[in-house]
Amino acid sequence: MRKSFFSPLFIKRIKKFRSFKRGYYSLLIIGTAYLLSFFSEFIINGNALLVKFDGKFFVTLYNSVSLKKDIFSKSIKAREDYFEYKTSLAGDTLNSKNEKLLSLKSKHELYDRIKKDFDNHRTLKNILKEQKRGDWVLLAPYPYSPNENLLDEMGDKNPPTKPDGQHFLGTDDRGRDVFARLVYGFRIYMSFSLLLTLTSYTIGILFGAILGYYGGKVDFLGLRFIEIWASIPFLFTVMVISSIMIPNFTILVVILSLFYWISMARYIRAEFLREKSKDYVQAAMAIGVSDRRIILSHILPNSLTPVISFLPFTIISGIAILASLDFLGFGLPEPTPSWGQLLSQGISNLSSWWLTLSPMAAMFLTLILIAFIGEAVREALDPKIYSRMR
């Protein structure tokens, strides 16, 4: 007779967590938003999702190379056909009444027009619609890409333009849609922060565990190393590195992880110092468990208090640090959709309030929701609730 996969205690804690409505709903919101953001290409995209052209289907979600090739070759063909026919009729004065010539001409002109504008799928859609040849373009519900320059469609307005029905949050100073940039930025910021937390915690936990478990000289040297390492001014280092080479997502995660692990290493070291002297560790040694297993599977699960209590704050600070680096211009390179970069645009265009307000609101919401989740997790794991003594 086997009990359920999760221990009853775990189920109890899940229930407890769900009873904290604020945290539970925050988790639902953030979770859904983050999950949805992985499908944002289907929702917010200047590229059409699917194009039917001359009876053929083209999936243009990420790129429209095949569609372009098709249109290109067809336009060349139409042009050749037209001129070939025209020269074959050379000298004929009834040119203008030759039906075949006219149809070839109109086809040639249509393809030429499409060729001119096929990068912009919104225009392409209109052209194809006008032609009524059974071709169509399926656009995303919000048909603007985050990195797409919309200057051509603005008419006499100058970027940044105000929020309106087409652009929910207006456009930025380079004529890109702010809403699209915010949503794509959310995906990048959340992924960045989660990845940064994961890597820096892994380094910090392993380092701290080794220092705390082995103690003695290892501990002494390790602590001195931490002290020296921690005294490096990390923001400046990141700036220096970013100005030497153009950082990308991975490089930034690596650089920041190099500094972010320190505090976790200290906490885990302290936990290990306390836990390793407990009897169960000696008992585990006495049955021949290897050091690695004792560290990872015996002591570590008993030392996760700091991890649980600091996790939400680390995620929050990961988002904040990326925003500030982007703000200063040392973060992710252009044209990556970024909240910090939007903010810095807002500073230089103070009258365009939507440039400052929208990334601020997005950050505020994200950070406070994560903080609520963290609060609920801590409450759910707090054994005080179960104790009889109050």
Partner 1 sequence: MGKKQKNELLKVENLKTHFMIEEQKAKAVDGLDFHVFEGEFLGIVGESGSGKSVTALSILRLIPDPPGKISSGKVIFRGRDLLGLSWEEIRKIRGNEISMIFQEPMTSLNPVFTVGVQIMEPLMIHRNMNKKEARESAIQMLEKVGISSPELRVDDYPHQFSGGMNQRAMIAIALSCNPSLLIADEPTTALDVTVQAQILELMTEIKNKEKESAILLITHDLAVIAETCDRVMVMYGGKIQEVTSTINLFENPLHPYTKGLMDSIPSLTKKKKRLNAIPGNVPGILNLPPGCPFNPRCKHRMPVCEKSVPELLEVEKGHSVRCHLYNGEG
Residue among 244 and 286 whose Cβ is closer to partner 1: 286
Residue 222 C-beta: closest distance to partner 1, Å: 16
Residue among 154 and 284 whose Cβ is closer to partner 1: 284
Residue among 9 and 35 whose Cβ is closer to partner 1: 9
Contact at 8 Å (CB) between 301 and 284? no
Taking residue 134's Cβ as centre, other Cβ atoms within 10 Å add up to: 10
Residue among 289 and 371 whose Cβ is closer to partner 1: 289
Give the contact letters, 267-296, x = binds to partner 1 (CB under 8 A), - = no. Answer: -----------xxx-xxxxxxxxx------
Radius of gyration over every alpha carbon of the chain, rounded to an integer in angstroms = 30
CA distances from 145 to 85, 181, 272, 316 (A): 42, 8, 49, 27
Residue 210 C-beta: closest distance to partner 1, Å: 16
Binding to partner 1, residues 132-171 (CB under 8 A): none
Residue 377 C-beta: closest distance to partner 1, Å: 17
Residue among 65 and 283 whose Cβ is closer to partner 1: 283
Token couple for 322:
């990326």
Binding to partner 1, residues 214-233 (CB under 8 A): 216
Binding to partner 1, residues 290-329 (CB under 8 A): 290, 298, 301-302
Residue 385 C-beta: closest distance to partner 1, Å: 16
CA distances from 353 to 167, 209, 326, 343, 361 (A): 15, 48, 19, 10, 12
Binding to partner 1, residues 2-61 (CB under 8 A): 2-3, 7, 9
Taking residue 213's Cβ as centre, other Cβ atoms within 10 Å add up to: 22
Token couple for 358:
């929208």
Look-up: residue for tokens 């002494």?
220
The three-class DSSP label of residue 59 is strand
Give the contact letters, 323-362, x = binds to partner 1 (CB under 8 A), - = no. Answer: ----------------------------------------
Residue 268 C-beta: closest distance to partner 1, Å: 16
Residue 285 C-beta: closest distance to partner 1, Å: 6
Amino acid found at 193:
S
Residue 66 C-beta: closest distance to partner 1, Å: 51
Complete DSSP assignment for 215-240:
-HHHHHHHHHHHHHHHTS-HHHHHHH
Residue among 36 and 284 whose Cβ is closer to partner 1: 284
Residue among 24 and 214 whose Cβ is closer to partner 1: 214
Residue among 155 and 288 whose Cβ is closer to partner 1: 288
**What is d(CA 228, CA 24) in angstroms, rounded to the nearest whole number?**
41
Contact at 8 Å (CB) between 178 and 355? yes
**What is d(CA 233, CA 122) in angstroms, rounded to the nearest whole number?**
49
Taking residue 167's Cβ as centre, other Cβ atoms within 10 Å add up to: 24
Size, binding site for partner 1 by CB under 8 A: 21
Contact at 8 Å (CB) between 182 and 358? yes
Closest by CA to 356, choosing from 159, 144, 153, 170, is: 170
Residue 287 C-beta: closest distance to partner 1, Å: 3
The pairing of strands 136-138 and 56-59 is: unpaired
Residue among 286 and 350 whose Cβ is closer to partner 1: 286
Residue 198 C-beta: closest distance to partner 1, Å: 22
**What is d(CA 308, CA 205) in angstroms, rounded to the nearest whole number?**
12
Residue 308 C-beta: closest distance to partner 1, Å: 13
Binding to partner 1, residues 75-94 (CB under 8 A): none
Residue among 23 and 306 whose Cβ is closer to partner 1: 306
Residues making contact with partner 1 (CB under 8 A):
1-3, 7, 9, 216, 278-280, 282-290, 298, 301-302
